[in-house]
Chain A
């Protein structure tokens, strides 16, 4: 079946064999976007996070057919003029990634917060980032990066 999707500002029609396919697989396999990643397929870790109409959303449990005309933004879609946006740059400057597998989700989650609240407190950042898991223990660097973007 054909599914219409608006991803990173671009509308496109995609052929999907199975309507139950989660958005994540369409983004990765059909559109070649490798920002969102498969981590658990259960909405428990955040590696797959994208924005759906501005809300940080687990793309691994959202059927592509349920997206509708809502705007989907991935890590790639945060880029501004081909360059990392302020938050991405703050992560780069703080070297806030070890393996980096979780990091796309971390950025998407943090960006959703900064969009609503450009200058969050430490506690607000921690609470907001609570759904996202990191195994390498990069949390402290991630906190520094978010704060850097918030004050920058």
Chain B
């Protein structure tokens, strides 16, 4: 393996790191960055240069396809690189989600950033380090294994000179394939990975100096706002432009099919004009009656069945004698609810499009914008700029499409800032999920069969069609993309007969997409609640039942359950508790998952207080034990777990979109309430760090457990089983009445 130190195309990029970063954070079409693009920096996953550059001052630039959505993975990735290369952490900066400069490592979703993206980058760094050591060995006339690296300086342990990374490679290309066999550092030698190193963006966010997508501007830019149809599928009949004559700063009313927008000089003018523009639309009623949503889901045509596990013969086992249990669970339609509505800026120059977006998937966005505009992918560049929290495929891509269409029509850069109603009304939704479960328990109290059926829309992750493309009748992919929602429909418990089937539905009421823990949350809600129903039928301790049916070889899983029992001071007994009396009663519930059956282990105990008259449920305390293998930054993992718990308490207790036959009606925070400070649970979190194991994701797994832990706790407190998210007081009251 040789490092090619001859002058190369990289030389064009003098001082790569600093300059490119300056571009990315500064404003616009910087000549240098265009040059870099033209010079053809590799972005394929097999090249070291794809991921890393070291300039002549020893500054390291990481090119990451995974982006920081406010989760803190930026510092995590930097820690991985600084550790692997042995350079000062302060010398490492990152460029993220720029389709010209960064590789397509897949969208930033699925708790994959560190686990998948970070490990690709680690391997590139390990390859680079090894190659640099080879080169240094030659230069210093020393054996490779006699070399040590500290702070980017290579020395021979036996003495005899030193050479820096900057001297070896500064500003030049590695021209090297990522070596899958390159030896990564021994975790025992870690100095940076595993440490609670503070994020760099937080001081900027606390002083108003951080640039969010919503703050991003380019010179000569106009503001656009889209006037949405009052009902999904409605067609535009007429527009009365005179209705906004008195709004100062209106440049143009744009009408393109059913895509109706105003373009203005100022942001406020766009808000006002969009609000005040009078338009008439056809009547459209495409949605089911919300009161009959679950009948609608159950009667939707099934296009295919995905059997996600089939062990033994569950039908035969169900037919044998025994106690039969069955239950149906449902989980409401959710919106993403980012605090900052989606925003994007687009600009056409010489027939090429640049779009700045907070998209979690700029490479996919590029393809979609290219498709919409009938342009080659190569003529579209999407650049990630941090936005407000993003928990899946929300409205960012759609705002990008709005801005693109308007920029094309206006031949000027256009910024589109969605309104709150745009966001609540038009972001793609977490689809409604309906689940039937059955189990059989034999005379000796063994669970002999487990069967489940999930009624969920067809499709997988992919591209969620752009609203602007649909409204303007431009090309779309035209397939549902709800995310990997079959995950965690199968279970890890060792019952002898199991069959889990996902009925994939032809349609679902809203454009579906993935929202944090997609499918896994809904499916685990049903699985882990129903397991509790089995425990109750057996009069068994629910935590002990989980231990009983966990593979005894799965030591990490068993350790999580054991440590959970300890930190929660779990009292062994069956649910419901025997001493229920008074109006306000308390209980606790447990839930456990090995995420997607193959990665992060989490156990949760939730405490609840239930007002038996009003049906109000409080969640005063939540305990979490979490094993995601090697921890890169414990602060980051802890923050993710806290966010998972708090956001999912909100989703579980409060959240449900409302709609009439035409459109979403919960268009603000009053009609779609989320958790507030008075509802904040106390959190007790125990992290299990396993430095010698693979790092796994932490952005989603804990969330999968919260609905079931709370449902189980309500049952423990009251004897009433709540099987429908959200657990609104009226549902809790109904469950109490049915005891």
A residues at B contact (CB < 8 Å)? 17-18, 20-22, 25, 28-29, 33-35, 37-42, 44-45, 47, 74-76, 79, 84, 88, 91-92, 95-104, 107, 125-127, 129-130, 132-141, 143
- Min CB distance A149 to B, Å, is 12
A139 with B680, Cβ < 8 A, contacts A34-B211, A44-B669, A91-B206 known: yes
9 closest A-B pairs (Cβ-Cβ)?
A99-B70, A137-B646, A35-B208, A100-B205, A101-B388, A137-B643, A99-B389, A40-B420, A44-B669
Q: Are B268 and A103 in contact (CB under 8 A)?
A: no
Q: Are B206 and A42 in contact (CB under 8 A)?
A: no
Q: Are A25 and B268 in contact (CB under 8 A)?
A: yes
Does B167 count as interface, using CB distance less than 8 angstroms? no
Tell me which residues across on chain A come within 8 A of B203, comparing CB atoms: 84, 92
Does B397 count as interface, using CB distance less than 8 angstroms? no
Q: Are B669 and A45 in contact (CB under 8 A)?
A: yes
- Min CB distance B678 to A, Å, is 5
A135 with B389, Cβ < 8 A, contacts A97-B205, A98-B70 known: yes
Complex Cα–Cα for A16 and B388 (A): 28
Complex Cα–Cα for A20 and B205 (A): 29
Besides A25-B267, A34-B208, 11 more A-B contacts (Cβ < 8 Å) are A29-B266, A35-B208, A45-B669, A47-B339, A88-B206, A97-B205, A100-B210, A102-B388, A107-B206, A130-B677, A135-B389
Contact among A17, A135, A138 with B674 in the assembled complex (CB-CB below 8 Å): A135
Tell me which residues across on chain B come within 8 A of A22, comparing CB atoms: 268
- Min CB distance B11 to A, Å, is 37
- Min CB distance B606 to A, Å, is 15
Tell me which residues across on chain A come within 8 A of B650, comparing CB atoms: 137
Q: Which residues of chain B (663-681) have a CB below 8 Å from chain A?
A: 668-670, 674-678, 680
Does B476 count as interface, using CB distance less than 8 angstroms? no
A140 with B207, Cβ < 8 A, contacts A38-B341, A45-B669, A95-B199 known: no
Q: Are A98 and B72 in contact (CB under 8 A)?
A: yes
Complex Cα–Cα for A68 and B572 (A): 64
Residue from B207, B214, B269, B678 with most neighbouring chain A CB atoms (10 Å): B207
Contact among A17, A76, A79 with B249 in the assembled complex (CB-CB below 8 Å): A17
Q: List 9 A-B contacts (CB under 8 A).
A: A18-B247, A34-B212, A39-B340, A79-B207, A99-B386, A99-B387, A100-B202, A135-B388, A137-B675
Residue ID in chain B nearest A88 by CB atoms: B206
Does B312 count as interface, using CB distance less than 8 angstroms? no
Q: Are B201 and A75 in contact (CB under 8 A)?
A: no
Q: 1/0 per position for B332-362, CB-CB distance to A under 8 A? A: 0000011111000000000000000000000
Label chain B's interface by main secondary structure. loop
Q: Are B69 and A99 in contact (CB under 8 A)?
A: yes
Q: Are A138 and B642 in contact (CB under 8 A)?
A: yes
- Min CB distance B672 to A, Å, is 10
- Min CB distance A136 to B, Å, is 4
- Min CB distance B634 to A, Å, is 11
Does B635 count as interface, using CB distance less than 8 angstroms? yes
Q: Are A130 and B389 in contact (CB under 8 A)?
A: no
Complex Cα–Cα for A45 and B70 (A): 18
Tell me which residues across on chain A come within 8 A of B386, comparing CB atoms: 99
Q: Are A141 and B639 in contact (CB under 8 A)?
A: yes
Residue ID in chain A nearest B423 by CB atoms: A40
Complex Cα–Cα for A107 and B417 (A): 24
Tell me which residues across on chain B come within 8 A of A47, comparing CB atoms: 339-340
Q: Are A25 and B266 in contact (CB under 8 A)?
A: yes
Complex Cα–Cα for A33 and B209 (A): 9
Tell me which residues across on chain B come within 8 A of A21, comparing CB atoms: 266, 268
Residue from A33, A74, A103 with most neighbouring chain B CB atoms (10 Å): A103
Contact among A38, A126, A130 with B340 in the assembled complex (CB-CB below 8 Å): A38
Contact among B248, B387, B676 with A17 in the assembled complex (CB-CB below 8 Å): B248
- Min CB distance B251 to A, Å, is 13
Contact among A98, A102, A107, A133 with B639 in the assembled complex (CB-CB below 8 Å): A98
Complex Cα–Cα for A124 and B29 (A): 49
A140 with B642, Cβ < 8 A, contacts A45-B669, A84-B203, A126-B677 known: yes
Does B683 count as interface, using CB distance less than 8 angstroms? yes
Tell me which residues across on chain A come within 8 A of B647, comparing CB atoms: 135-137
Does B177 count as interface, using CB distance less than 8 angstroms? no
Q: Are A98 and B206 in contact (CB under 8 A)?
A: no
Contact among B71, B212, B272, B643 with A37 in the assembled complex (CB-CB below 8 Å): B212
Q: Are A103 and B266 in contact (CB under 8 A)?
A: no
A42 with B674, Cβ < 8 A, contacts A103-B206, A135-B338 known: no
- Min CB distance A44 to B, Å, is 4
Tell me which residues across on chain A come within 8 A of B675, comparing CB atoms: 137, 139
Residue ID in chain B nearest A129 by CB atoms: B677
Q: Are A98 and B268 in contact (CB under 8 A)?
A: no
Residue ID in chain B nearest A75 by CB atoms: B208
A18 with B249, Cβ < 8 A, contacts A38-B214, A137-B643 known: yes
Does B652 count as interface, using CB distance less than 8 angstroms? no
Complex Cα–Cα for A92 and B198 (A): 9
Tell me which residues across on chain B come within 8 A of A133, comparing CB atoms: 339, 669, 674, 676
Tell me which residues across on chain A come within 8 A of B391, comparing CB atoms: 135
Tell me which residues across on chain B come within 8 A of A136, comparing CB atoms: 70, 389, 643, 647
- Min CB distance B192 to A, Å, is 17
A137 with B644, Cβ < 8 A, contacts A18-B249, A79-B207, A88-B207 known: yes
Contact among B71, B206, B249, B339 with A135 in the assembled complex (CB-CB below 8 Å): B339
Residue ID in chain A nearest B391 by CB atoms: A135
Contact among B205, B249, B267 with A103 in the assembled complex (CB-CB below 8 Å): B205
